[in-house]
């Protein structure tokens, strides 16, 4: 007769045998429970990830992040519309021969700043996306 199987094989590596107890105030525990719900992750995994794997990263409330990004996108859209309206008006003035070179230079200067800020925002958003992906 062969050996009797006793279920799943024992882990030889990576077995979690050490335990850390932590006490929380009611408010702190409520925050942990809230994060558990918002991030859809168990309390132990939440704490383990925060302490071991993402100590230098911040856990993100996805709903809040999406809301803020939506506001930024809307503001960029409004800025783009304003720039288009100014460009259209500048073209009308140019056709009429009443466009001041100072106004055109100022528009070009402000538009260059806008484009630079848009690039900076894009770089920041890519960093955020990379951080969220790890």
Residue 73 domain-assigned (yes or no): yes
* Residue of higher predicted confidence among 72 and 128: 72
Residues 66 and 123 in one domain: yes
Which residue, of 12, 40, 59, is where some domain finishes? 59
Average model confidence (pLDDT) across the chain:
82
**Nearest alpha carbon to residue 87 among 79, 76, 117, 118:** 79
Q: In this predicted structure, what is the pLDDT of residue 64? A: 77
Residues 66 and 84 in one domain: yes
Residue 71 domain-assigned (yes or no): yes
Residues 35 and 87 in one domain: no
Q: In this predicted structure, what is the pLDDT of residue 67? A: 82
CA distance 130 to 109: 32
Q: In this predicted structure, what is the pLDDT of residue 58? A: 59
Q: In this predicted structure, what is the pLDDT of residue 77? A: 84
Residues 39 and 98 in one domain: no
CA distance 134 to 125: 15
Residues 76 and 110 in one domain: yes
Which residue, of 34, 59, 84, is where some domain finishes? 59
Residues 89 and 117 in one domain: yes
Number of domains in the chain: 2
Q: In this predicted structure, what is the pLDDT of residue 3? A: 66
pLDDT digits (tens, 9 = 90+) for 52-62: 775 555 566 67
* Residue 87 predicted with pLDDT over 70: yes
Burial string for 98-113 (b: 16+ CB within 10 Å, else e) reads ebeeeeeeebeeeeee
Residues 66 and 55 in one domain: no
Q: Which two tokens stand for residue 10?
A: 């024992």
Q: In this predicted structure, what is the pLDDT of residue 133? A: 65
Q: In this predicted structure, what is the pLDDT of residue 27? A: 95
Asked if 46 and 36 count as a contact pair (C-beta separation under 8 A), the reply is yes
CA distance 118 to 125: 10
Residues 68 and 129 in one domain: yes
Residues 45 and 74 in one domain: no
Contacts of 46 (CB under 8 A, 6+ apart): 32, 35, 36, 39, 59
| Structural domain boundaries enclosing 112 | 62-133
pLDDT digits (tens, 9 = 90+) for 5-51: 677 777 777 788 888 888 999 999 999 899 888 888 899 888 887 77
């Amino acid at each position: 007769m062969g050996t009797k199987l006793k279920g799943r094989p024992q882990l030889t590596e990576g077995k979690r045998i050490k335990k850390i107890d932590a006490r929380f105030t009611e408010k702190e525990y409520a925050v942990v429970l809230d994060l558990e719900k918002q991030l859809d992750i168990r309390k132990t995994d939440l704490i383990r990830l925060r302490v071991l794997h993402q100590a230098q990263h911040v856990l993100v409330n996805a709903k809040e992040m999406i809301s803020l990004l939506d506001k930024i996108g809307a503001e960029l859209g409004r800025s783009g519309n304003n720039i288009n309206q100014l460009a259209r008006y500048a073209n009308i003035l140019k056709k009429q021969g009443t466009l001041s070179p100072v106004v055109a230079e100022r528009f070009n200067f402000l538009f260059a700043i806008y484009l630079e800020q848009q690039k900076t925002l894009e770089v920041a958003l890519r960093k955020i996306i990379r951080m969220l992906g790890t």
